[in-house]
């Protein structure tokens, strides 16, 4: 089957679903992450964001970070309401949420519930979708250009699945077990990047040329990140870890090995920049935050330690629609288990929000 080995007959597709209407059981998580602060403090959200938290973010009125608190609960930080604990929603330990902004000013979060099913929370709906996810994996969610949201994930049979108005069901593409896809919205619809069950980088979606990305081998067990390019030519760019543990890129803005060493098992995050180009954030081979790309200020992030087994999330910092390149913002699980940000306009520091060990945040902006 050569390069199409990852395409397989979708047998027993119904097995990819849990019982319809499955209920998420709110597991009790009493232990805090090692070294983390006591549970995330609801008081900082009382009556709105405290100025100290707002300044640590972008200063915009349109940003959001979804993460798993050290209590195991889904939490939202930022300036898109509602913020704080997402009710009593618990997230499967070892997995991370994904969030997207919505054109109506809200947001939607996708995550793996404690019963192993795909679930969503946010202004567009809150429910357990009853679709079984592969253990230890995380979904990716986007808003579609035509409206509504679309989710990509690895189902419990190891196939790429999508849910949403643009595409729903088993895509018949086998994924490397235990890895997670990344999805981006495009003018043409969407594109997904993932590690196929051959260990190679693949894309799937509405862009011409989707499929095997030229036999590019990925480090086993890692996941790629994809972003729309915001320049006049459009297209997408993917960041991933090579088998030699280097950061590499693939897409319309270039395909190359940056020869920047990554921590073994780490997965990068990439964002398109409003002024054109891209920026990637990752944990380097000394377990510190590093950025690379076309933005001013790329490089060592000042020896900021990242909690082992977690990955940063990056977003373009032009969240006000000015059309001016103002850099980027990164959110990450810092050593000690606290949420930190790093990036444009000096927005670097702790948000004093404890994160669960082994989980990563998801940062978005409008």
**pLDDT, tens digit (0-9, with 9 covering 90-100), for 278-300:** 999 999 999 999 999 988 888 99
- Could you tell me the pLDDT band of residue 4, with boundaries at 50, 70 and 90? very low
121-160 pLDDT, tens digit each: 999 999 999 999 999 999 999 999 999 999 999 999 999 9
**pLDDT for the residue 262:** 98
Quick check: is 211 in a domain? yes
57-112 pLDDT, tens digit each: 444 445 789 999 999 999 999 877 888 999 999 999 999 999 999 988 889 999 99
Residues in the chain: 366
**pLDDT for the residue 82:** 85
Quick check: is 22 in a domain? no
| Among 192, 190, 284, residue whose Cα is nearest residue 238 | 192
* Sheet with strand 299-305: strands edge to edge: 269-272, 278-283, 288-293, 299-305
Percentage with pLDDT > 90 across the chain = 67
195-226 pLDDT, tens digit each: 999 999 999 999 888 999 999 999 999 999 99
Quick check: is 16 in a domain? no
Query: For the chain, what is the domain count?
Result: 1
**pLDDT for the residue 276:** 87
Quick check: is 70 in a domain? yes
Q: At residue 37, does pLDDT exceed 60? A: no
Quick check: is 121 in a domain? yes
**pLDDT for the residue 295:** 87
d(CA 263, CA 320): 34
**pLDDT for the residue 257:** 97
**pLDDT for the residue 337:** 96
Quick check: is 12 in a domain? no
Q: How many CB atoms lie within 10 A of CB 38?
A: 10
Q: At residue 12, does pLDDT exceed 70? A: no
Provide the 8-state DSSP code for 17. B
Q: What is the CATH number of the domain that holds 115?
A: 2.120.10.70
Domain that holds residue 196: 2-7+28-365
223-250 pLDDT, tens digit each: 999 999 988 888 999 999 999 999 999 9
**pLDDT for the residue 317:** 73
Q: How many CB atoms lie within 10 A of CB 238?
A: 27
- Which carries the bigger pLDDT value, residue 193 or residue 3? 193
Element (H, E) at 55: helix 51-56
DSSP-H helix ranges across 253-308: none
Token reading at 17: 């679903």
d(CA 176, CA 183): 16
Half-sphere exposure of 130 (CA within 13 A, CB side): 9
296-338 pLDDT, tens digit each: 888 999 899 999 999 999 998 754 455 555 689 999 999 999 9
Q: How many CB atoms lie within 10 A of CB 209?
A: 8
Q: At residue 38, does pLDDT exceed 60? A: no
């Amino acid at each position: 089957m050569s390069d199409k080995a990852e395409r397989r007959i979708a047998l027993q597709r119904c097995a990819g679903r849990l019982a319809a209407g499955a209920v998420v059981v709110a597991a009790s998580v009493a232990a805090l992450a090692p070294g983390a602060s006591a549970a995330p403090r609801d008081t900082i959200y009382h009556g709105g964001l405290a100025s100290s938290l707002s300044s640590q973010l972008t200063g915009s009125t349109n940003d959001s970070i979804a993460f798993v608190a050290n209590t195991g609960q889904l939490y939202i930080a930022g300036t898109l309401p509602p913020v704080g604990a997402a009710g009593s929603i618990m997230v499967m330990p070892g997995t991370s949420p994904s969030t997207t902004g919505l054109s109506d000013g809200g947001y939607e979060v996708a995550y793996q519930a404690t019963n192993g099913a795909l679930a969503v929370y946010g202004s567009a709906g809150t429910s357990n979708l009853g679709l079984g996810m592969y253990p230890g994996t995380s979904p990716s969610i986007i808003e579609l250009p035509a409206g509504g949201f679309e989710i990509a994930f690895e189902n419990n049979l190891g196939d790429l699945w999508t849910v949403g108005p643009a595409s729903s069901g088993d895509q018949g593409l086998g994924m490397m077990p235990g890895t997670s896809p990344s999805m981006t919205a495009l003018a043409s619809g969407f594109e997904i990047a993932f590690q196929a069950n051959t260990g190679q980088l693949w894309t799937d979606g509405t862009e011409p040329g989707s499929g095997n990305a030229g036999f590019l081998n990925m480090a086993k067990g890692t996941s790629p990140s994809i972003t729309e390019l915001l320049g006049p030519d459009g297209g997408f760019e993917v960041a991933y870890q090579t088998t030699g543990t280097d950061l590499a890129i693939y897409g319309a803005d270039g395909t190359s090995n940056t020869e920047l060493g990554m921590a073994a098992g780490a997965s990068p995050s990439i964002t398109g920049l409003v002024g054109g180009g891209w920026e990637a954030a990752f944990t380097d081979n000394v377990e510190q935050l590093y950025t690379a790309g076309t933005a001013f200020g790329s490089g060592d992030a000042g020896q900021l330690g990242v909690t082992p087994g977690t990955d940063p999330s990056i977003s373009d910092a032009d969240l006000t629609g000015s059309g001016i390149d103002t850099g980027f913002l990164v959110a990450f699980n810092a050593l000690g288990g606290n949420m930190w940000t790093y990036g444009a306009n000096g927005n670097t520091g702790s948000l004093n929000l404890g994160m669960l060990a082994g989980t990563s945040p998801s940062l978005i902006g409008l």
